[in-house]
Amino acid sequence: MANQNYLQQLNDVQRAAVTNTEGPVLVVAGPGSGKTRVLTYRIAHLIEEGVAPWEILALTFTNKAAREMKERIAKVVGERANKVWAGTFHSIFARILRVEADKIGYPSNFTIYDTDDTKSVISSIVKEMNLNKDTYNVNAIRSRISSAKSNLITPKLYEKDEELRQEDRMAKRPHLYAIYQKYVARCKRSGAMDFDDLLFRLYELFQKNPDGVLDKYRKKFRYLLVDEFQDTNHLQYAIIRKFINYDGSPRNICVVGDDAQSIYAFRGATIQNILDFENDFKTHGIQIFKLEQNYRSTEHIVKAANEVITYNRKQIQKTIWSDKGEGQRIRVIKALTDGEEGKRVADTIMEQKNRFHLSNDEIAILYRTNSQSRVFEEYLRRYNVPYRVFGGLSFYQRKEVKDLIAYLRLAVNPNDEEALRRVINYPKRGIGNATVDKISALASQADKPMWQCLGSAQVGARAQNSINDFVAMVKSFMQRADSDNAYELAAHIAKRSGILDDLKNDTSVEGLNRLENVNALLDGIKSFVEEDTVIDTETVPDKSLASYLQNIALLTDLDDNNQSGDHVTLMSVHAAKGLEFKSVFVVGMEEKLFPSFLSLDTPEGLDEERRLFYVAITRAEQFLTLSFANSRYRFGQMRYNEPSRFLEEIPGRHVESTAYVRSEMSSLERADNSSSGARVSGNFSRPAAALPRVDPKDFRPAPPGDIQTGMKVLHLKFGEGKVLSIDGAKDNRIATIFFRDAGDPQERKIMLKFAKLQIL
């Protein structure tokens, strides 16, 4: 008999989402609405109702989320939770590919390339093709290839796609298709897949083996659950459809997500997947459950978030509500400079710590770009407040760590060219760049991995002797890989390769830190070996080096965000998704910063920025502070800023301001506030006057140098105005303009170089 106690912990809508297990289900989960609880209890309920745990596949976006999911399921069903296939898209697909890779021409011990490996391969291809490395920017090419794979465009299809080729010609990169072809061939030759390949190659595997491999996994997984569905890309949804379309009809799929928190378009995610899901399955009896009760935030925060998101064009309608009481109004800090903003945010943090007894780890500062952290770090240091910045260099990206991992990768897959290039002459053994280039050229000519050409290149006797010693050493590692566990082999490689001795010879502080990092890596491998980890329900726990390398290769950004310790958290809004804090500061709330100037060209871009703001403010439980600066240095120049349009979208009844944020606030509003004894409260609701009032087709902006004091001018957004004064010189001229249009009189300071004004 199933244990029903866990169902009593759910509200009515949550319980319905958990117990309606058959057919397609869409759970629209607002922020703080118990999404994870619904997902985990749904899996536990399936198991309690008699479904075998290994017949359940749950896909997440971080390993941390998958771990937490299993821990919560285990509280209901015990150790059976370990047999659920729960993990990230990449980790689950890598597990399947390890078993089936030979069917698409890959070895089962394929290497997983990280971003640095990918960039290194592209860089070497650009160099071999004698192309300009500035024009053929490595990051741009990597992004282009990733986008192609996410949209199921193979190198052959890319070459035939005239639209893509024309875009490349416009960007002065006509040979990009050839780089893509060579990149794919190089990875295959090295027995390597990048992160995109883990999806792309799985789709290829299913497409080429519908009756064998695909049918096997369709039968294996009777129930499919997808977390954070709004963050999936075109390819991920295509694979999901492969899993669930059986004999032409979809089976049991449950997707959980919130369209209002879709913020990863820059990684290829498309909000269209969650918006289209209902239509895709409406003929198959889809059930939709909306989780609208927010258990995290107080009413002012929740209602402000509701108001802001209504400005977006495409969305699934829902109204988030909270029964945690009104709470504190949202505070807005206006500063003259970014330095003053940093100081006032730090002052407010000290006030909250003293007045409300908040600990440091209950406070977060969120910003649009990582470069904004500097000024807040400076003032937190002055105030002796411990903090931690997320988004720095990952432990696994440090040189000494990557060096040892490259040796470990070679022991598992000697055809891994990026690992080979990295350590063939580290520690130094007399194999210079010219020798490596000869080996590389021979490998390209013969279309073989470099490993297979190490004995054939025409190099000097001394270099060849060093190469022979290197080959013998790697072969000895490969032999031990069959018998040693991951830690035994890694400890042997660290010593035998000479890495430990090389680091011990550097007695500087930096050198000691590097040695400490390598020892920390070895400690991590030992921990991996000693943990009781079940890799697969059909195998014994796997403690091999190959298993360890796959484990660390599949770590995601958020898996590095260990939040232990009493420190204020500083991070980008993107990194904060899924987290919550008692007090949140969203800083830099200025036009062209948040929303980003890159987003202002398209309605879709602006909608995504607004969703990002929605995510930021819904991280706060009790206290939400928004701050902006009238001026800040950006890219070496002083920039003058207007408050973000998102501030105007928050109704004044939810805001407590520390300054007059809008200079045009009427005297009546001021009198009302002062007579009632209330603090000054800005009215941020967007007036009709804030909308464009001029037909862009008729608008003719004048050169900035032509604008003079006393002129009447027209602005696309603010309408007709008069130039009161101009300060500054040349590119830094700032005009003070009184705009009187549409009954919304106000003075604004505008940098003329960016103003776009028509002289009347």
**What is the number of other CB atoms lying within 10 angstroms of the CB of residue 282?**
11
Q: How far is CA 357 from CA 47, 146, 353, 361, in A?
A: 43, 47, 5, 12
What are the structure tokens assigned to 603, written together? 């309605």
Residue 215 appears among annotated catalytic residues: no
Selecting among 168, 228, 400, 417, the annotated active-site residue is 228
Give the amino acid at 426: Y
Give the amino acid at 627: S
Rounded to 5°, the CA angle 427-432-434 comes to 155
Selecting among 48, 114, 168, 227, the annotated active-site residue is 227
Residue 228 appears among annotated catalytic residues: yes
**What is the number of other CB atoms lying within 10 angstroms of the CB of residue 448?**
14
Beta-strand pair 637-640/620-634: antiparallel
Residue 329 appears among annotated catalytic residues: no
Is the Cα torsion angle 154, 155, 157, 163 positive or negative in sign? positive
Among 501, 508, 371, 27, smallest CA distance to 226 is for: 27
* Contact present, 689 and 742 (Cβ < 8 Å): yes
Give the amino acid at 481: A
Beta-strand pair 85-88/245-246: unpaired
Phi–psi pair at 116, nearest 5 degrees: -65, -40
Selecting among 35, 218, 344, 409, the annotated active-site residue is 35
What are the structure tokens assigned to 491, written together? 């400890």
* Contact present, 339 and 375 (Cβ < 8 Å): yes
Instruction: Give 595-648 as a 3 state SS string.
Output: CEHHHCCCHHHHHHHHHHHHHHHCCEEEEEEEEEEEEEEECCEEEECCECHHHH
* Contact present, 496 and 504 (Cβ < 8 Å): no
Give the amino acid at 181: Q
Residue 35 appears among annotated catalytic residues: yes
Partnered with residue 364 across adjacent β-strands are 569, 584
Can you tell me which residue has the tokens 């000479």? Answer: 498
Residue 283 to residue 104: CA distance in whole angstroms: 35
DSSP state of 109: T
Phi–psi pair at 515, nearest 5 degrees: -65, -40
Selecting among 201, 334, 577, 619, the annotated active-site residue is 619
Selecting among 40, 261, 298, 435, the annotated active-site residue is 261
Rounded to 5°, the CA angle 413-415-418 comes to 95
**What's the chain's length in residues?**
760
433: Cβ contacts below 8 Å, ≥ 6 apart: none
Residue 543 to residue 160: CA distance in whole angstroms: 45
Is the Cα torsion angle 393, 395, 396, 398 positive or negative in sign? positive
**What is the number of other CB atoms lying within 10 angstroms of the CB of residue 101?**
20
Instruction: Give 700-724 as a 3 state SS string.
Output: CCCCHHHCCCCCEEEECCCEEEEEE
Among 460, 478, 510, 536, smallest CA distance to 82 is for: 536
Task: Collapse the DSSP code of 245 into the 3-class scheme (helix H, G, I; strand E, B; otherwise coil) and give the result.
Answer: strand
Residue 227 appears among annotated catalytic residues: yes
**What is the number of other CB atoms lying within 10 angstroms of the CB of residue 379?**
19
Residue 261 appears among annotated catalytic residues: yes
34: Cβ contacts below 8 Å, ≥ 6 apart: 10, 11, 14, 291, 293, 295
* Contact present, 127 and 134 (Cβ < 8 Å): no
Residue 363 to residue 361: CA distance in whole angstroms: 5
Which segments within 187-251 are labelled E, that is strand?
A: 192-194, 223-226, 245-246, 249-250
Selecting among 21, 36, 207, 736, the annotated active-site residue is 36
Phi–psi pair at 348, nearest 5 degrees: -65, -35
**Would you please indicate which residues are annotated as catalytic (active-site) residues?**
35-36, 227-228, 261, 619
